[in-house]
Amino acid sequence: MRAFQLVEWQQPPELREAPVPEPGAGQVLVKVAGAGACHSDLHIMQAPAPGDDTRLPFTLGHENAGWVETLGPGATGFAPGDPVIVYGPWGCGLCANCREGRENYCQETAGLGGGLAGHDGGMAEYLLVPASRFLIPLGSLDPRGAAPLSDAGLTSYHAVKRSLHLLGPGSTAVVIGAGGLGQMAIQILRALSAATTVVAVDTDAGKLETAKRMGADEALLSGEQAVTRIKDMTRGQGAQLVLDMVGVDPTLRMAAQMARVLGHLTIVGLGGGALPVDFSSPPHECSVASPYWGFIPELIEVITLAQQQKIKMLVEHFPLERAGAAYQLLHDGKIQGRAVITP
Ligand code: NAD
Ligand code: ZN
Ligand code: ZN
C-alpha cells in the first residue's frame, strides 16, 4: 500500500510503499477514509522531543477515521464495513489513568498512538489499531469528513469541558488561534455554554471571518488592541477562560493579560513559547494548564455533538499524492479549516 512517511527529520515526508499490516490478536485493521493534517505534525517533523527515541521512518496521521476492514483473532465489537473514528492516544489499558478512559495520560505509553513517536498512522490505505476499544462507531457520520473530530474536536472539547464550571451567564471565553482546533473550540463553547460570550483572536483576517461564521461573538486581530477590547468587554476583569491554541511568546503574554483572577489560562498550542510567571501575572489564582488531547468518553460526546450537527469541521480533501502540498499550505496559513488526506 502507499503510505506518507516521515523518513528524515527536517525533510519533507515522502510517499512510499509499505506492507498492508496483518491484524494480530485483539487488533483491528481499518481502511482509512480520511486522516487530518494537524499543525502538530509540522512541529513533529522538525525534531524528536527531548528523550524521545522515535525510529524513522513512520507513517504520519494521528487524526483518523475509516471503515473496519478485518478483525484480528479475538477482537470483538465491530464488523467489517462499520464506519469508525479512531481514538488516537493509545494507552496500555491497565494503568490507573487508562482504567478511567484517560489513555492520553497513560503511565506506560504517555498516550502516543499511531502517527506519533514512530507508530504508523493513518496517512496510508490501511491503519492497524491495537485494540477495538480505540474505535468509536460513527453512525450516520461520513468517515471521509469525520477524522478531525478525533483530535481538533476532542482536544478542544477537553480543554473547554475542564473549565465549564467557570462559564456561567455573562462569562467570557477567548480563543487565541482560530485554525483547525480554534474553530472547533468556538463551536464547542457555543454548544456547551450558550450564555458565554466567545471571542476569537487571530493574526489572519480570513480566519477571523470563519470564526464569526462558526459562532464567535467577536473576532479580534491579535495584539494590544485585542487585550484592551477584552478588558472593556469585561469591566476590566478579563475573561474566565483563555485558550491559547498557538503557544508562542506573544500569544502567551497576551493570554495572561486577557485572563482574570480565579480564571483559567489553558495552553493547547505547541508553539514553543514560555509563559512568564510572577506574583501578579497571570492574575491571582488564575490556573494555568497544558492539556494533551482528551479522554475516550469525551470522544463519544464529541461524536454525539457532530451527529446533532452542533459542531462541524470545515474540511478540504487532498489525495495521498498531495499530502505534502497540504502540509505546505498548512504551514503557510492557507488552510481555512482542516486538510484531510483521503487515500
Ligand atoms: P492551525 O494551523 O490550523 O491553526 C493555527 C491558527 O493560529 C491559525 O489560524 C493562525 O492564523 C493562528 N495564529 C498563528 N499565530 C498567531 C498569533 N500570533 N496570534 C493569533 N493567532 C495566531 O493549527 P491547529 O492544527 O489548529 O493546531 C494549533 C496548535 O495546537 C498547534 O501548535 C498544534 O501543535 C497544537 N495541538 C495541540 C494539541 C494538544 O493536545 N495540546 C492537539 C492538537 C494540536
Ligand atoms: Zn494533532
Ligand atoms: Zn495506561
Render pLDDT for 186-216 as a digit per residue (tens, 0 to 9): 999 999 999 999 999 999 999 999 999 999 9
Across 164-174, average pLDDT:
98
Round the CA-based radius of gyration of the chain to a whole number and report it. 20
Model ipTM value: 0.99
> For a pocket test of ligand 1, which of 158, 202, 210, 295 has the largest count of ligand atoms closer than 8 A to its C-beta?
202
pLDDT band at 171 (very low <50, low <70, confident <90, very high): very high
What's the rounded Cα separation, in Å, for the pair 100 and 126? Answer: 29
Q: What is the mean pLDDT of the chain?
A: 97
**Res 52: pLDDT:** 74
Distance 144 CA to ligand 1 centre (A): 22
Regarding the beta carbon of 45 and ligand 1, being less than 6 Å apart is answered: no
Q: What is the pLDDT of residues 88-133, one digit of tens each?
A: 999 999 999 999 999 999 999 999 999 999 999 999 999 999 999 9
What residue ranges do the domains of the chain occupy? 2-151+294-342, 155-289
Residue whose CA is at the smallest distance from ligand 1 atom 36: 269
Regarding the beta carbon of 201 and ligand 1, being less than 6 Å apart is answered: yes
Strand runs (DSSP E) across the chain, as ranges? 2-6, 14-17, 28-37, 58-59, 64-71, 83-86, 126-129, 135-137, 172-176, 197-202, 218-221, 239-244, 259-267, 287-289, 315-319, 338-342
Pick the CATH number of 155-289 from 3.40.630.10, 3.40.50.720, 1.10.40.30, 3.60.20.10: 3.40.50.720
pLDDT band at 170 (very low <50, low <70, confident <90, very high): very high
**Res 48: pLDDT:** 81
Q: For the chain, where are the alpha helices, taking DSSP H only?
A: 39-44, 96-99, 143-146, 152-161, 180-192, 205-213, 224-233, 249-258, 296-307, 323-331
What's the rounded Cα separation, in Å, for the pair 179 and 329? Answer: 13
Regarding the beta carbon of 23 and ligand 1, being less than 6 Å apart is answered: no
Pick the CATH number of 2-151+294-342 from 3.30.300.30, 3.90.180.10, 3.30.1180.20, 3.40.50.720: 3.90.180.10
Q: What is the pLDDT of residues 277-286, one digit of tens each?
A: 999 999 999 9
SS3 65: strand
Are 53 and 115 a contacting pair, CB within 8 Å? no
Q: Is the pLDDT of residue 54 over 90?
A: no
**Res 318: pLDDT:** 98
Cα-Cα-Cα-Cα dihedral sign, residues 39, 41, 46, 47 = positive
Strands 172-176 and 135-137: unpaired
**Res 51: pLDDT:** 72
**Res 53: pLDDT:** 79
How many CB atoms within 10 Å of residue 319? Answer: 11
Across 36-54, average pLDDT:
88
Residue 109 backbone phi and psi in degrees, to 5: -105, -10
Regarding the beta carbon of 109 and ligand 1, being less than 6 Å apart is answered: no
